[in-house]
Structure 1
Amino acid sequence: MAGTVREVVDALPLVDHHCHGAVTADLGPARFEALLTEGAAWPGVSPFDSPVGVAVRRHCAPLLDLERHAPAAAYLARRAELGWQEVNRRFLRAAHVETFCVDTGYAPHPVTSPAGLAAAAGADAREVVRLESVAEAVARRGVDAAGYASAFRAAAEEAVRRPGVVAVKSVAAYRTGFGLDPARPTYAEVTRAAGLWFARGGRLTDPVLVRHLLWTAVALELPLQLHAGFGDSDLRLHQADPALLTDWLRLTAGTVPVLLLHCWPYQRQAAYLATVFEHVHLDVGLALHYVGPGRAGAVLAEAMEITPFRKLLYSSDAYGVAEFHHLGALSFRRGLAGVLQERVDADELSHTDAVRIAAWTGRDNARRLYGLPVSDPGHD
């Protein structure tokens, strides 16, 4: 490949190895602002007045035919004028993604299916099965406690046999945190915990059942994605430090690939785990569009300090507003190109190596781990 590192990275079709659908409805100002934040749109504090809101007005406004830094009111009016289908099409195509791996287990709003996301983007899409959703569906069916373990395993196996499924995911970081007993729970422990859960109702939050879910995930023999670090207010951030998984990772060595998602502010802990455990990989998705293109390089630089280059992937974790599919990709491209070019300029990295690392990180590592086809050999 010829050209500067930035030119190479800008031209690279990405694999977004973890994201969600885009909303299939026109959004009023309040609903749009609520989707701009992992927190809340508080009275008198607009998410537009935050790093991610400023990044949207700077980098997304031109795709709506607006001037850079367009005022929030003008941005929202133009978005409403175009309608959600055209807005989604513009931002999803601008992301220049060849394959989206879509977590279908979180949908508090009507959002595109993987096929709908792919159609709008002119890309391919695969599915990631969220195992907590599978477990909660089993509980709603009314299985008894003694039958829960086998019913969950059977339902999970059925879910991953669906066409297009390439991975499973757990949000254990949200439900219990990672400070769990790493051992596989016994049948008696699972049965007892299931009985208590069924009597109590609600979401899956029992530590024994979350451990059982993680060990079941290993048995499914597909890559396992684990949310780590940054998330919404349901999370206790200190319990989402992936370093807390160290003992469990020792026990699962030699099994399935484990993909640590997002990780900020624990990208250095995740990098350590990827360095010492063969089956651990990571990304710094979600945080990149929240810090914006101007700071994405700083987050990526920390993730890349010791991470083996075949173990870092790209994800957006975009949900709801298609701006995030675009902004995540843009932030990643600018940040990665900046980090690599700085190393080339310092003669710490050859241009050839920089191009290889860019292709691995943006696309090829995900292709390898998820068994994705080479969709456009001309870009290799």
Structure 2
Amino acid sequence: MVDLLPLVDHHCHGVVRERLDRAAFESLLCEAAAPGRWHGRLFDTQVGFAVRRLCAPVLGLEAHAAPDEYLDRRAELGVDEVTRRLLAAAGIAEFLVDTGFLQGALTTPDELAAFSGGAAHEVVRLESVAEDVISGHNAAAFAPTCRARLVAASRTAIAFKSIAAYRVGLGLEADRPSDAAVFTAAARWSAEVAAGKPVRLHDETLVRFLIWTAVDLGLPIQFHVGLGDADTDLHRADPLLLMPLLRATADRNVPIMLLHNYPFHRHAGYLAQVFDHVFVDVGLALQNVGGGGAARVLAELLELAPIGSVLFSTDGCGLPELFHVAAVRFRRALAVVLDAESAEGNWSRADARRAARMIAGGNAHRAYRLGPSAPPTD
């Protein structure tokens, strides 16, 4: 029921183009920055074990091949062939690609689509646009230039994304900031950049300005929620902090996409139930918590989240292995959850099949207006 469904990966990044040594490969496996003195190699994580178990056979090795044997085979095949094999095996038909991270170091949406044989669409990161604008414009030009850039992006992009959770936290004020407040904040930021500080948006007023500009343009808006690397203050990444903003945007016909969500996935499921415009996933979590944990986490999300609000994502970034592991873990987890509900008589088999199609791709087609997909009825 689940294994053959084409997937829509509604949040991912590109993959690296060059050959990686072991340290570089491991640094991309999970949220740790690199193998360390104390925790040792990152192949000894749930996602590291999953790569050796699930990806090794796709590359012509025995399951659980040793890390060095796996990396030698990877080098033998070459980056392009490894990427083609793993993306094809993942069964992902469409990719929604956040292009605002590691710009220039990762494949573009078109390149990712060429490797997979599927389709790809760009997701524009709001903070990246603002950082590019502040580098070349004064405070007076900041707001109109950002608006113009986002209007232009909205003609080709499928969605916008905010990493407010990383920069200012999700406890955002709900109101649209005034022009005067935006000018003052932009002037302050411009002065910091001129003084030699990093070009990094960390002003709550400007983040809200970007979000409301995106709301005006009508495309779905993604928010990073929950786990991330050590740059995240996790207590500020709880989706419940977004409730004022969710109330303020409830009547704007703009889907709000809550990404990742773990360990706050039950909170996210609640928000998806009470706000019709909220969509949720547990991408990134499923490959990191391991096989048994993946089904548990997905079941916990579905305790409250309506079936029509749940999406699939990989958060694949850098390594094509992450796309494959995420897809396999998701398919298995979803099958376990749906089979359990059906076996207990809670759902009919027809309901389970319909839910599988909706979560695998049908909901993403509706929310992102990707065009027709298989109908969610029998």
Q: TM-score range by the shorter chain?
A: over 0.9
State percent identity of aligned pairs: 51
Match of 1:318 among 311, 316, 319: 316
Q: Please name the residue that 1:113 is paired with.
A: 108
**1:153 aligned onto 2:147:** yes
Relative to 1, partners in 2 of residues 1:245 and 1:376: Cα closer, same or farther, differing over 3 Å? Answer: closer
Distance 2:130 2:223 in 1: 16
SS at 1:248 equivalent: helix
**1:193 aligned onto 2:188:** no
* Contact 1:23 1:109 survives alignment (8 Å): no
Match of 1:50 among 34, 45, 51: 45
* Contact 1:98 1:375 survives alignment (8 Å): no
* Contact 1:109 1:320 survives alignment (8 Å): no
Q: How far does the alpha carbon of each residue in 1:179-229 deviate from its partner, in whole angstroms, 9 at most, with x for none?
A: 122211111111111011011122011111111111111111100011100
Q: Which runs of 4+ in 1 moved over 3 A?
A: 374-377
**1:174 aligned onto 2:174:** no
Q: Please name the residue that 1:209 is paired with.
A: 206
Using the size of structure 2 for normalisation, the TM-score is: 0.95
Distance 2:177 2:373 in 1: 42
SS at 1:180 equivalent: coil
One-letter amino acid matched to 1:235 = T
Q: Please name the residue that 1:5 is paired with.
A: none
SS at 1:259 equivalent: strand
Distance 2:272 2:361 in 1: 18
- CA RMSD, 1 decimal: 1.5
Distance 2:121 2:105 in 1: 18
Distance 1:74 1:136 in 2: 42
Distance 1:257 1:243 in 2: 17
Q: How far does the alpha carbon of each residue in 1:337-361 deviate from its partner, in whole angstroms, 9 at most, with x for none?
A: 1000001010011100000000000
Relative to 1, partners in 2 of residues 1:109 and 1:43: Cα closer, same or farther, differing over 3 Å? Answer: farther
SS at 1:327 equivalent: helix
Distance 1:334 1:374 in 2: 26
Q: Please name the residue that 2:26 is paired with.
A: 33
* Contact 2:256 2:279 survives alignment (8 Å): yes
Aligned residues: 369
* Contact 2:122 2:159 survives alignment (8 Å): yes
One-letter amino acid matched to 1:145 = A
* Contact 1:25 1:110 survives alignment (8 Å): no
One-letter amino acid matched to 2:128 = S
One-letter amino acid matched to 1:336 = L
Q: Please name the residue that 1:299 is paired with.
A: 297
Distance 1:293 1:365 in 2: 24
Equivalent residues in 2 for 1:1-380, closer than 5 Å: 8-40=1-33, 41-43=35-37, 45-107=40-102, 110-141=105-136, 143-162=137-156, 165-201=157-193, 202-255=199-252, 256-374=254-372
Mean CA deviation greater in 34-43 or 85-94 = 34-43
The runs of 5 or more residues in structure 2 that have no matched partner are 194-198
The runs of 5 or more residues in structure 1 that have no matched partner are 1-7
Mean CA deviation greater in 208-217 or 231-240 = 208-217
Distance 1:111 1:245 in 2: 30
